[in-house]
Amino acid sequence: MNFFNFFENDFLVIFPELFIATVIVFLLSYGVIFSTSEHYKNPALAVNLSWLTFFTLGIAFLLSINNSLSSMVIFNNLLIIDPFTTLIKAFILLSSMVCILISINYLNYQKINTFEYSLLILLSVLGMLCLVSTYDLLSLYLSVELMSLSFYILAAYKRNSEFSGEAGLKYFILGAFSSGLLLFGSSILYGFTGMTNFEDIAKLLSGLGSISDPISYNGIVIGILFVSIALLFKVAAAPFHMWSPDVYEGSPTPVTAFFSSVPKVALLALFVRLFFYTFYNFIPIWQDLLLISAMISMVWGSIAALSQKRIKRLMAYSGIVNIGYMLIGIASGTTIGLTHLLVYLFIYVIMTIGFFSFILGTQNHKTKALNVYLLDLTNLGKTNVVLGLTVSLILFSMIGLPPLAGFFGKMYLFFAAMNSKLYAVGILGVLSSVVAAFYYIRLIKLMFFEMSSKKYTLYKQMDQLNAYVLSISLFLLIIFMGSSEVLLMSCRRISLLVSL
């Protein structure tokens, strides 16, 4: 048989990934050749490559949404492309584009001249795109590793900062550990089912009311548990979240922005593929696991965040709490839960990127340093009312106050929980969101309410890109109430296609 007939359509549907892979090679050679060339006097190509990466991701986005075929399994059942993956890939590409935009100012001010930053982001995006379309335990591991390896280096990117190196090391050790767990779980699953393909496992597991052999049953359960726990490690859900505050705080700020928003999307899409499709019949097992993890995340995250003094650490804990909410959406196991989870993901990414664009844009007038401590935000409402109001609105959305978008996201998720009769989780969730409100309000209080401290920081004018990102994200959060039908409908349509 002609080899290329076999893969006739396959290369067509993975154009985005192919394009990104090719461009990575090109940009790498471009970067190496030109930044070491004496003729051009060793230019610092970091910003240049960032813009090239931005456009690469843009073209990849256009390629991904213009898929000529809508749904197929390719490469010998290794990858799947369907409307769900297309939506998630488009979203990942868009949010990575925005993350690159907000990092350009940082590269300038930190005088980071090495161009590999954008390349690492491209590599991790490639890993994430493959992760979203995996259909096999092996390709799952490969994509997770590709994504995570780039993350380890990104976390340690600032070479002259001890803190950054420590963050990278911590992330690497824990990431490698969780990948090991993932492999262990996959191998157990392979051992007891004899297959690694998601579709095959799904058909095997769904065809039985119960696997009659208790050893096999327990074996599969252990496999599922190890795989889920490994993925919970990666997504920083409690009680496997210990690495995330340190890593988020030590990494350079645009990397933190990237970490808090984009991998969560990819990993949650993977969760959906695994739990709603492959392991769906074992729902009594993983529903409890995810619910417990969600409850601990929400409670621990909101209480621990109360005592934080630094902004990035606060955002790390807030990320943990949000992952808790999203795990409720997955644990509910219904189409409604999935739809609302997708909507909440969308809103969460916008809020996070908006907030981080604010952090990256506000530089001290004299020292050009970014805000590190919460107290650096004192009296922002007096020095720059518009900026203070913008951030307050984003924070109000994070608390979940109507009529901003964050409220609707939370309401949809709690509705999914109530619909699946998960009452305890719902009550715990809303109470933890009240506790969470407290530390967001503290930020607003620092900015606006005149306290006895006359301390204030004068900021440089925010650069253009960060200002655009901040304003557009706030705009999207505000208009959500009136314009959410399109989003809701597309999510609903797509989520109906995911389940068996």
Partner 1 sequence: MFQFPSILLSLITLPLLAILVILMIPETRPNLVKTFSLWTSIIVFIISLFLWLSFDLSTPKYQFVEPFFSVPYSNMNVFIGVDGISLFFVILTTFLIPLCLLASWDSIKFSIKEYNIAFLLMGSLLICVFTVLDVLFFYIFFEAILIPMFLVIGIWGSRERKIRASLQFFIYTLVGSVLMLLAILTMYAQTGTTDIQVLQTISFSQELQIVFWLAFFASFAVKVPMVPVHLWLPEAHSEAATAGSVILAGILLKMGGYGFLRFSIPLFPDASIYFTPLVYTLSAIAVIYTSLTTLRQVDMKRLIAYSSVAHMGFVTIGMFTMNIQGIEGSIFLMLSHGIVSSALFLCVGVIYDRHKTRIINYYSGLTVAMPIYSIIFLFFILANMGLPGTSSFVSEFMVLAATFKSNIFITVLAATGGVWGAAYSLWLYNRTAFGNIRLTYISNFQDVDRREFFVFLPCIILVLLMGIYPEVFLNIMHVSVQNLVEQVQ
Residues contributing to the site for partner 1 (CB under 8 A): 396, 401-403, 407, 411, 414-415, 418-419, 423, 426-427, 430-431, 433-434, 437-438, 441, 445, 448-452, 482, 485, 488-489
Q: Pick the closer one to partner 1 by CB: 372 or 488.
A: 488
Task: Describe the crossing of helices 385-399 and 464-478 by its angle, rounded to 10 degrees.
Answer: 50
Min separation Cβ 485 and partner 1, Å: 5
From start to end of 92-165, where are the E strands? none
Q: Pick the closer one to partner 1 by CB: 158 or 340.
A: 340
The string of DSSP codes covering 269-326 is HHHIIIIIIISGGGHHHHHHHHHHHHHHHHHHHHHHHTT--BHHHHHHHHHHHHHHHH
Min separation Cβ 336 and partner 1, Å: 9
Q: Pick the closer one to partner 1 by CB: 259 or 414.
A: 414
What are φ and ψ of residue 126, in 5° steps? -60, -45
Cis peptide, bond prior to residue 83, ω within 30 of zero:
no
Q: How far apart are CA 414 and CA 329, in angstroms?
A: 8
Min separation Cβ 388 and partner 1, Å: 11
Q: Pick the closer one to partner 1 by CB: 28 or 389.
A: 389
Min separation Cβ 498 and partner 1, Å: 19
Q: Computed from CA positions of residues 459, 406, 297, 205, in that sequence, does the dihedral angle turn out positive or negative? A: negative
Q: Pick the closer one to partner 1 by CB: 184 or 456.
A: 456
Contact of 276 with 499, CB cutoff 8 Å: yes
Give the containing element (helix H, strand E) for 81. strand 79-81
Min separation Cβ 306 and partner 1, Å: 12
Min separation Cβ 162 and partner 1, Å: 37
Q: Pick the closer one to partner 1 by CB: 55 or 423.
A: 423
3-class DSSP state of 373? strand
Q: Pick the closer one to partner 1 by CB: 282 or 325.
A: 325
Cis peptide, bond prior to residue 239, ω within 30 of zero:
yes
Min separation Cβ 31 and partner 1, Å: 47
Q: Pick the closer one to partner 1 by CB: 197 or 433.
A: 433
Contact of 474 with 354, CB cutoff 8 Å: yes
What are φ and ψ of residue 105, in 5° steps? -60, -40
Q: Pick the closer one to partner 1 by CB: 309 or 445.
A: 445
Q: Which amino acid is at 187?
A: S
What are φ and ψ of residue 421, in 5° steps? 65, 30
Q: Which residue has the tokens 């990102």?
A: 469
3-class DSSP state of 364? strand
Min separation Cβ 248 and partner 1, Å: 27
Q: Pick the closer one to partner 1 by CB: 114 or 334.
A: 334
Min separation Cβ 474 and partner 1, Å: 15
Q: Which amino acid is at 373?
A: Y
Sequence-separated (6 or more) residues with CB below 8 Å from residue 173: none
Residue 263: closest CA among 197, 326, 335: 326
CA distances in angstroms from 418 to 169, 280, 300, 431, 489, listed in the order given: 41, 20, 22, 15, 21
Q: Pick the closer one to partner 1 by CB: 23 or 416.
A: 416
Min separation Cβ 445 and partner 1, Å: 6
Min separation Cβ 490 and partner 1, Å: 11
Q: What single DSSP character describes residue 84?
A: H
